[in-house]
Copies of this chain bind each other. A is one copy, B any other.
Amino acid sequence: MKLDSLSFARRFDHVSGSAIREIFKVIAQPGMISFAGGNPSLSALPDEQVAVLAQEALSASGKALLQYGATEGYPPFVESLRGYLREHLGLDVPAMLPVTGSTQAMDLLCKALINPGDRIVVENPSFLGNLQCMKLYEAELVPVRSDGDGLDPDHLEQLFREVHPKMLYTIPTFQNPTGRTLSLERRKRVAELANQYGVVVAEDDPYRDLRYRGTDLPPIKTFDKEGWVVFLGSFSKVISPGLRVGYLAGDAGIVRKCTIGKQSSDVHTANLNQAIVDLYLRKNLLPDHIRRISSDYALQCDRMLSHLAAFPDGVSYTKPEGGLFLWAELPEGVSAVELLKKAIEKKVAFVPGTHFFADGGHENTLRLNFSASTPAQIDQGMDTLRSLISGELH
């Protein structure tokens, strides 16, 4: 029998692969200036520190690190993670699970909770990798309105009442893709609503340490009384994405179900990778490192903003207090998808905003990453975009 008679699982019916991952292949071309990824800058990646820590970990515990580990995580890492969450985030949670990047945290949470047809409220736009995850669990995505202070709690309450969602997926701090941050009052309100209506909140917070102005805000999880909020954390943006180390933290019953799910996802997160991050935390290397990379990223962010200020009238954009992304809106009728084609010919890449909307549309929007480009690249790339957009408008 020919293989073309093979049918794939229904969960793929409306999923064709991450647009960002495809754009990654294009931006690998030499000479490309990329505002597309969510990559740390190369200079922000602590390769020399990691080489030293890897050596230290392997010398001290090589056999244990190469052996099978517990699904529940490498015990020293779980311990240092507990201290980190308490001291750094004010979180004292019943249970934690180290995972293979926080993308896996979202996957496991959906595995634990989502039946086909369950509704998940999402910001619109939101992180497309996790939108794809939720679609593969055949969830029905319900967009909640948002503004400059993040998602709108009144609309959220209306949705909680009317559509009875199983979960809210939110990126409260320096949101991907918009760069917006949920205000303190709204954080409290989201926790209250989740507790009142019995909706799980997946609080995805990988960017929070990259703050360039303003003051830190506590996680939604700190206002959670009954345990409905699950905090998803990552070391990808502050240490290394290539190591694939993240975690989820929250109620013991939910974490236990995610742990059982993880047994057949990948058994456990690689021990060496957990040990490297463990030593990074234990030696307290993170604060200095974050200070150094934040000061670079702040300059890059400001540089990109100063270019946007000179863009043609009718182009609007966010002014984030941290994170990796700016979000721009072109005049109605100008397509960022078409703009991308022309930009790539001129060796500049970004992600059209339409990919971040659960139901598409919004072709006049785009996401711009500033962390992975040098100031000179930002100058050159933004000049190119400005002249292309000006051309569209004349």
Contacts and interface: CB of A to CB of B under 8 A. Distances in A.
A26 interface: no
Given A101-B267, A263-B18, A111 B129 contact: no
A66 B45 contact: yes
A87 interface: no
Interface of A: 1-3, 5-6, 8-12, 15-18, 21, 24-25, 37-40, 42, 45-48, 50-51, 54-55, 58-59, 62-71, 99-101, 103-104, 106-107, 111-115, 129-130, 132-133, 136, 195-198, 200, 226-228, 236, 239-244, 251, 253-254, 257, 259-261, 263-273
A8 B255 CA distance: 12
B268 A112 contact: no
Nearest to A54: B54
A242 B271 contact: yes
B273 A270 contact: yes
Contact of A66 (B50, B195, B198, B267): B50
Contacts of A55: 51, 54-55
Contacts of A111: 9, 11, 136
A308 B392 CA distance: 81
A3 B64 CA distance: 37
Given A1-B198, A8-B112, A242 B260 contact: no
14 contacts: A1-B195, A6-B200, A18-B263, A37-B68, A47-B62, A50-B62, A51-B54, A54-B55, A68-B241, A107-B264, A107-B265, A129-B263, A132-B263, A265-B265
Given A266-B101, A266-B266, A48 B62 contact: yes
B12 A132 contact: no
A47 B51 contact: no
A303 to B, nearest CB: 21
A244 B270 contact: yes
Contacts of A254: 6
Nearest to A51: B58
> What's the number of copies of this chain in the assembled complex?
2
B45 A62 contact: yes
Contacts of A42: 63, 67
Contact of A260 (B12, B70, B251, B273): B12
A296 to B, nearest CB: 15
Nearest to A3: B227
A9 to B, nearest CB: 5
Contacts of A114: 9
Contacts of A64: 242
B62 A129 contact: no
Contact of A129 (B1, B39, B267): B267
Nearest to A130: B264
Contacts of A236: 68
B251 A3 contact: yes
B129 A66 contact: no
A100 B103 contact: no
B54 A58 contact: yes
Nearest to A47: B62
Nearest to A103: B267
A228 B265 contact: no
Contacts of A197: 1
A59 B65 contact: no
A149 to B, nearest CB: 26
Given A1-B198, A2-B226, A266 B107 contact: yes
A3 B39 CA distance: 37
B270 A243 contact: yes
Contacts of A101: 266-267
